[in-house]
Amino acid sequence: MASITPLSQSQPLLEKTQFTVLNKPQNQFCSIPFSRFTQSSNLFLKKSRMVVVSATTATEKSNKRYPGEAKGFVEEMRFVAMKLHTKDQAKEGEKEPVDQPLAKWEPTVEGYLKFLVDSKLVYDTLERIVEKAPFPEYAEFRNTGLERSEVLAKDLEWFRQQGHAIPEPSTPGLTYARYLEELSEKDPQAFICHFYNTYFAHSAGGRMIGRKVAEKVLDKKELEFYKWDGDLSQLLQNVRDKLNKVAENWTREEKNHCLEETEKSFKFSGAILRLIFS
């Protein structure tokens, strides 16, 4: 039988056992100053607010409606173009007049011929570009019925038969044609802006100018330049539809870039127009 050791014999073990009281451990987390924690929190909240504001601004931009946008991109182009007219040219005009009013113009046949020759060079260039179509969307604007190159050739031939010398293209026309060629190869949105403004301006204000000049120097003869085969309003609407269709594939930035080119279009065409009374 196993024996049980008396308690008196186990006592020395208890006496030799030593207990060490551990010091209370330092709380390392609390060693970080509270102010730093508060600063970090504030920074996080500030950044969060910045993200929310940035997202809100982006949403507002995406929801921004541009003048005329609801009716299609052509209406946006028309709106911008009208703003570049003077008050006596259009009720929406905002530009200060630079030249004398049309009613006070004193055109000459020689100046008008310069205008027609340079205009033909521009239309030749535009029609050649859409025919070769370095960008596929240009092909949409072939054979629209608005083309002016052939009818201008007929008008210049009529002047020749009347005994007038037909001049060579001058600096305004040559400069514009060169610019259109360069633009068409690298910047389709800007090129489309010039295409729109050239053809649509001629169908509106251009016709009025043609009548005024004809009254003063051509015994009211109406040139072929101001005639179209078919209903002009329908021809214009067909081109509007094509322009709107092409612009549907553009980003908002590309559309804005097109609109920004309008002022250059006016500058080039204005230089050619002033040849009439040069």
Determine what percent of the chain is predicted with pLDDT higher than 90. Answer: 66
Q: Write the single-letter amino acid at 80.
A: V
How far is 238 from 174, CA to CA, in rounded Å?
30
- The CA-based angle 248-242-197, given to 5 degrees, is 100
243 CB contacts (<8 Å, ≥6 apart)?
Answer: 73, 74, 77, 192, 196
How far is 129 from 123, CA to CA, in rounded Å?
10
Tell me the pLDDT of the chain averaged across its residues: 82
The mean-pLDDT minimum among 33-37, 206-210, 274-278 falls in 33-37
Q: Which pLDDT belongs to residue 66?
A: 79
Q: Which of 25-34, 41-50, 93-102, 158-167 has the highest mean pLDDT?
A: 158-167
pLDDT, tens only, 209-227: 999 999 999 999 999 999 9
pLDDT mean over 258-274: 97
Q: Write the single-letter amino acid at 234.
A: Q
Q: Which pLDDT belongs to residue 6?
A: 40
Q: Which pLDDT belongs to residue 119?
A: 98
pLDDT mean over 30-45: 46
Buried b / exposed e across 206-220, counting CB within 10 Å, b at 16+? Answer: bbebbeebbeebbee
pLDDT mean over 36-43: 48
Structure confidence at residue 278 as a pLDDT band (50, 70, 90):
confident
pLDDT, tens only, 70-93: 889 999 999 999 999 765 554 554
pLDDT mean over 31-53: 46
DSSP secondary structure, 134-189, as one string: SSGGGGGGSS-S---HHHHHHHHHHHHHTTPPPPPP-HHHHHHHHHHHHHHHH-HH
User: In terms of C-beta density within 10 A (0-12 exposed, 13-18 middle, 19 or more buried), how is residue 130 classed?
Assistant: buried
275 pLDDT exceeds 60? yes
Single out the residue of 241, 69, 223 nearest to residue 140, CA to CA.
Answer: 241
52 pLDDT exceeds 80? no
Hey, which bits of the chain come out as E strands? Answer: none
What global pTM score does this model have? 0.75
Contact 176, 271 (CB under 8 A): yes
114 CB contacts (<8 Å, ≥6 apart)?
Answer: 167, 170, 275, 276, 278
